[in-house]
Structures are given as structure tokens and as C-alpha cells.
Amino acid sequence: MKRKAGFTLIELLVVIAVIALLMSVLLPALGRAREQGRQTVCTAHCNSLAMCFRLYGEDWDGHLPPAPNNGLWDNAHEQPVILTEYDLGDNLAYWGIAYKPYAKSKEIFHCPSQKRVDDWPEWGWGYVYQVFFEYCGYGLNGYVANKKIDHDFKRPHELILFQDHIEQKLEVRSDSFTISRDANINLTQWRNGGTLGDFPDAVDECFRHGGKSVTAWLDGHVGQIRKTTGEDVPRRWYTGLDTNEEW
């Protein structure tokens, strides 16, 4: 009788080894492709949101509104019987509330690569509250708030409007990408996990797209800033000023 043909143990091991090798090559490429897709979506969101700023400015004679410093759209975190949407006068509100009427969807305030944004653990909240901060993936340059943009800023193509960030509102001194005058590195508020040590990947969250931050500028264009410790980021990108008198 003829023996039935089959794979030997060695042949099976070779096939398994080839499959494992192919997986080790393909998986990183697939991961990069997925991230590239997320970055593309994020860029589209930022383009749409930059247009919302432009439309708001046209309706208000170039004036941008004041910006609260938190990241909530409503009081859902209180588990209320009746949900109440916040406005800009609420201390817990997100600055994006001002631009929501110009947006097709609140989705444009969400970066698909965000893992965690500031959830105010110093207030006793923390990571379990992340669900309430889902739509605040971009940090507003706080220096543009409550300004008449065509009057106060002469080079809009060099002024950051908002960008990928763990923080909802950026103070130039402590959580922007430039270096403050009393420091030797940027993002001092977020180094070593933040002031409470509760955000181990805080700096990486600012450059969440493979070491890049998608950034919208005041003139409406959207670009990227590579991960930096701040030496190559001029303060004028946040203040619009050529000097360091105000920042």
C-alpha cells in the first residue's frame, strides 16, 4: 500500500516560521497604515474646525470669544435627571462650545488618536471620567481668546490657533510647545506625568500621531509639528509678538 502524502514536522515548523516572519513584517506596516488613516481624519477635523473659527469671526467682526479652561460640554458627569448643556459662562465648559453652531457634528472636536486628555484628577475626577472628555481632543492657544484677530495679530500664518494636546486650553508659559523664560524645556506642566504624576504619557499625547502634532494656524491652514523640546518653536507662534514682553 502507498503511504498517504503529508507534511513532516520539519515542514510544518518551516511553514509556521514563514508565517511568523510575514506577520512580524506586516503588522507594523498595518499599524502605520491605521495611524496614517487616523491622522488623515484628524487633519480633516482640524480643517473643518478652523473654518468654524473663520465663520465665527465673520459673524462677530473678527472678535473671538473668551475661552473657559475645562473640557466639558454638559453636566452629564453629574448623572443628572435632566441634562444641561453648558455655555461659555460655565467654569467647566470646553472652548469648543462657541463654535459648535458652525460645525456639522461635535465629532470634529475629537482626535481619533487621542487616548487621554486632561480629566482634572486634582478635582477628584481622573481617568474614569474620560468618557465625558471625548470631544475635547484639541487644545486652544489661550492667547487668541477674547481677541480681535485681524487687529491683534499681523502674521496669522505664523500664529497657532489650536493643536493636538492633552490640555484643553494652552497657557504659553507652561503647556505650549515653546520654552518659557524661566525654563529650559517646553511642556513643563506635563513632564514626568504632569503636576500630579497621573499622566505617564502626557507629552506623547501632545504628539499623538507618530511623534507629530496636527496643528491649525490662524490663517486656516493645517500642518504638523514634530515632537520637540521647544528650542525650535518660537514664542511668537503663540503670542504673535516679536518680543517676550507678553507671554
pTM of the complete model: 0.86
Q: Outline where the chain has alpha helix (H).
A: 9-59, 149-152, 172-175, 202-206, 236-239
Of 205 and 182, the structure prediction assigns the larger pLDDT to 205
pLDDT of 58 reads 95
Rounded Cα distance, 145 and 52, in Å: 14
pLDDT (tens digit, 9 = 90+) per residue, 128-181?
Answer: 999 999 999 999 999 999 999 888 899 999 999 999 999 999 988 889 999 988
Q: Which amino acid is at 98?
A: A
Every domain of the chain and the residues it spans: 37-239
Q: Classify the C-alpha dihedral 149-68-213-227 as positive or negative.
A: positive
Residues forming a β-bridge with 213: 225
Of 22 and 146, the structure prediction assigns the larger pLDDT to 146
pLDDT-derived band at 6 (thresholds 50, 70, 90) equals: low
Residue 192 confidence (pLDDT) above 70: yes
Taking a C-beta distance cutoff of 8 angstroms, is the pair 45, 107 a contact? yes
pLDDT (tens digit, 9 = 90+) per residue, 205-219?
Answer: 999 999 999 999 999
